[in-house]
A = this chain, B = another copy of it.
Amino acid sequence: MPIGELPERVTVYEVGPRDGLQNQAEVIPTDVKVRFVDALSRARLPYIEVTSFVRPGMIPQLADAEQVAEEIERRPEIAYTALVPNSRGMERASRAHLDGIAVFTAASETFSRHNTNAGIAETIERFRPVVAEAQARGIWTRGYVSTAFGCPYEGDISTEAVVNVSKDLLALGVSQLAISDTIGVATPRQVDKVLDALLEEMPVQQLALHFHDTRGTALANVLAGLQRGITIFDASAGGLGGCPYAPGASGNLATEDLLYMLEGLGIETGVSLSDVVEASRLLASATGRVPSSRYFAAATA
């Protein structure tokens, strides 16, 4: 069969400063983070998840959440977002004038307990006042469904589990769901199958796909998503971010690789690929870590 019709325009949701940096062992100085986010803004990424308002002291990398949010140069056309784990985090994000917040649960009960010390149902209840408060303040909301394609503890995850937690998050009122392959195990037929089930329950406009390139399948999974009409994809500049369950392996899908493929497919994003390369280069030279993005390697060779 030919590829068929694909969306004309895609929204790239940049997670590098949060999902990417969160997985770095060494703490990055605040001014480097700020310069990195500013470089991503110059690339005109429409959404940038800049930090996470977890309890201060819990993740040293994120202890400077307020400072990062304060010091970055905001552009009115870009939505700056942050992860919040609870009402306290929501309050901090609101005081820091973020445009959007993201809450975080899982399709795997075991992963949820390991990662947030609470079962899936409990996390949903915890987020009920968070999402309500965000809505009251006019703050945009997103919900992550992690381990949607596989779990480091449970292995396979049923499509039913993904659909159930997705419906629960939408019932809270979140604007967008990020269906996430946390450990990078997904393959295209699986993506197609999960989307088939989700699209029976919700409009395509509310669904984002979040892939990790741990086994090289991220862009093939994106293609399967595009063929189902998905128009929102997460990515991380340079492929920043590891996998805590496979140290040394690649992490998030690289923004550069995603943009290169989308450009080749004639799909508009409004993002400057060369400016994303510059943002990755800036971070790489500050941290000494070589980006895992294939495109970055080819472009800077």
Q: Which A positions have Cβ atoms within 8 angstroms of B?
A: 1-6, 184-190, 192, 196, 213-220, 222-224, 227-228, 243, 246-250, 254, 257, 260-261, 263-266, 293-295, 297-298, 300-301
Contacts and interface: CB of A to CB of B under 8 A. Distances in A.
B216 A250 contact: no
A227 B261 contact: no
A2 B266 CA distance: 20
Across chains A and B, which 10 residue pairs bring their CB atoms closest together, nearest first?
Answer: A187-B264, A216-B257, A216-B294, A249-B298, A246-B301, A219-B220, A248-B301, A1-B4, A3-B192, A220-B220
Interface of A: prevailing SS: loop
Contacts of A4: 1
A183 B256 CA distance: 17
Contact of A220 (B184, B189, B223): B223
A188 B261 contact: yes
Contacts of A254: 216
A260 B294 contact: no
A215 to B, nearest CB: 5
Contacts of A186: 264
Contacts of A216: 213, 218-219, 254, 257, 260-261, 293-295
A245 to B, nearest CB: 9
A91 B98 CA distance: 71
B227 A190 contact: no
B3 A188 contact: yes
A188 B247 contact: no
A215 B294 contact: yes
A265 B297 CA distance: 29
